[in-house]
């Protein structure tokens, strides 16, 4: 599900990427209205899919919003700052990994916060 969602977002932004970049850099932020019907349908689907998929978030609606917002921001910023990673697929893989870990509540490998610190 995540891979498909990320691929669709990247594909939508791949049309005229240079024009998209100019819009992002030069135009003020305009909040476009979202379709209430579409949003409601997607949210209802998310409420069914995310828990079945292993989402550990206590608020599925908030988790869905966080996922959409984070993915959207990453793709938009990549158009300007990392177009090669966007084209190569590297960004898509990292975005899927980021969203997967967030939704499943998994920690990245490595030292825990505060590990190795001596208390005095």
Q: What does the alpha-carbon distance between residue 74 and residue 95 come to, in Å, rounded to a whole number? A: 8
pLDDT at 9 > cutoff 80: yes
- pLDDT tens for residues 63-111? 888 888 899 889 988 888 898 998 899 999 999 999 989 888 866 565 5
pTM exceeds 0.75: no
The rounded distance, in Å, linking the Cα atoms of 54 and 103 is: 8
In terms of Cα–Cα distance, which of 5, 4, 36, 10 is closest to 89? 10
1 with 49: CB under 8 angstroms?
Answer: yes
pLDDT digits (tens, 9 = 90+) for 16-74: 767 777 776 776 666 555 555 556 777 788 888 888 878 888 888 888 888 888 998 89
Q: How far apart are CA 19 and CA 16, in angstroms?
A: 5
Tokens coding 59? 């608020």
């Amino acid at each position: 599900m995540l891979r498909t969602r990320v691929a669709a977002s990247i594909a939508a932004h791949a049309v005229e990427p240079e024009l998209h970049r100019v819009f992002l850099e030069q135009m003020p932020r305009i909040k476009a209205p979202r379709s209430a019907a579409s949003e409601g349908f997607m949210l209802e689907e998310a409420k069914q899919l995310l828990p079945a998929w292993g989402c550990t978030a206590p608020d599925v609606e908030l988790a869905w919003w966080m996922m959409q917002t984070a993915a959207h921001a990453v793709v938009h910023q990549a158009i300007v700052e990392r177009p090669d990673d966007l084209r190569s697929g590297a960004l898509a893989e990292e975005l899927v990994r980021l969203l997967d870990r967030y939704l499943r509540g998994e920690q990245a490998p490595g030292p825990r916060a505060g590990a190795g610190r001596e208390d005095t």
